[in-house]
Amino acid sequence: MKRILLIGYSQTGQLYQILDNILAPLQEMTLDQVKIEPKEAYSFPWDSHDFFDKMPETVLERPIELQDIEFKYNKYDLIIIGYQPWFLSPSPPITSLFEVEAFVKLLENTPVITVIGARNMWISAQKCLLLKIEKAGGRLIANLPFIDRHQNLLSALSILHWMLTGNKTRKWGLLPKPGVSDEDIQQAGQFGEIIAASIQKEQGSGLQEACLKLGRIDIHPSIMLIEKRAKPLFYKWAHLIVKKGSTDKKRARWISLYKYYLIFALFIISPIVLLIYTVLFRPLLFWKIKTDKQQLLYMGIGDK
């Protein structure tokens, strides 16, 4: 019987709901489910300062301390990693997982599926994670990003409402419901069925293609553009804040500056840039965008 390790972290439980549904059709296999817990839990709902204060160390991929992790077996036929991006980087609990020697050893020569529960920007984080998986000798066979499909600015506002109040509700009855939609969460089992069939028969080859055929995974060109521009800027801010924030007071001032910069960039600069890009450049770049999108959807996957 095939052995599957499902390991991940979720702060609000959203990603666990997705993973549970993916796992439902895999119940006939031997499952080991591990939830990662930071030694010091993040408070939820977030305090606004704390939320933005997590940026520098997250982007610089500095590990945190985790509760002890135990695995039932010393070899698996498949490892499913569930994670979420924070500030365009893997969340700290996931970065830290790759510091756990026993886990890194399990990855060697093992097929891996990543399941992401994001707002809508997961590309840069997946690049970071891919490096870690490859370094450990793992082989990515599929990547399943679940996102909020609403317009970027609306989803940014609604997720801030969720994160800062703890309510996954429609703010003022006007904004969309934040996070991954109930429908996408419920339909996640479709991926589980495809994974079950593929693992039994073909050792995961062609899995990403089969998953993409469901038509539930897509990347919007504007998100590709924003992420490409934003990650290098996040690195600069992260280094700057770590360097200049030598006392709590100084750090708080720099975090505050970064927060206002981010709000300005997201709500003022990016709509202007995207308007120019959509009207002038997107039609000219049609084929390049199409190729880039395909590359991102199959990023790091060996069989395509």
Contact 189, 24 (CB under 8 A): yes
CB nearer ligand FMN, residue 139 or residue 231: 231
Task: Work out how close the CB of 159 gets to ligand FMN at its nearest, in angstroms, rounded to a whole number.
Answer: 6
Angle, helices 221-244 vs 152-165, to 10°: value is 50
Can you tell me the distance from the alpha carbon of 239 to that of 57, in angstroms, rounded to the nearest whole number? Answer: 9
Would you call 145 helix, strand, or coil by DSSP?
strand
Region for 220 from its dihedrals, namely left if φ exceeds 0, alpha if ψ lies in -120 to 50, beta otherwise? beta
Angle, helices 221-244 vs 123-135, to 10°: value is 70
Angle, helices 14-23 vs 189-202, to 10°: value is 50
The one among 6, 10, 113, 150 contacting ligand FMN by CB under 6 A: 10
Task: Work out how close the CB of 246 gets to ligand FMN at its nearest, in angstroms, rounded to a whole number.
Answer: 23
CB nearer ligand FMN, residue 117 or residue 192: 117
The one among 85, 111, 192, 204 contacting ligand FMN by CB under 6 A: 85
With binding defined as CB under 6 A, does residue 56 bind ligand FMN?
Answer: no
Query: Per CB under 6 A, which of residues 165..194 are in contact with ligand FMN?
Result: 179
Task: Work out how close the CB of 88 gets to ligand FMN at its nearest, in angstroms, rounded to a whole number.
Answer: 4
The site for ligand FMN, by CB under 6 A, has a size of 21
With binding defined as CB under 6 A, does residue 126 bind ligand FMN?
Answer: no
The first and second tokens of residue 143, run together, are: 């990547």
With binding defined as CB under 6 A, does residue 255 bind ligand FMN?
Answer: no
* Residues near ligand FMN (CB under 6 A): 10-12, 14-15, 51, 54, 84-88, 117-122, 159, 163, 179
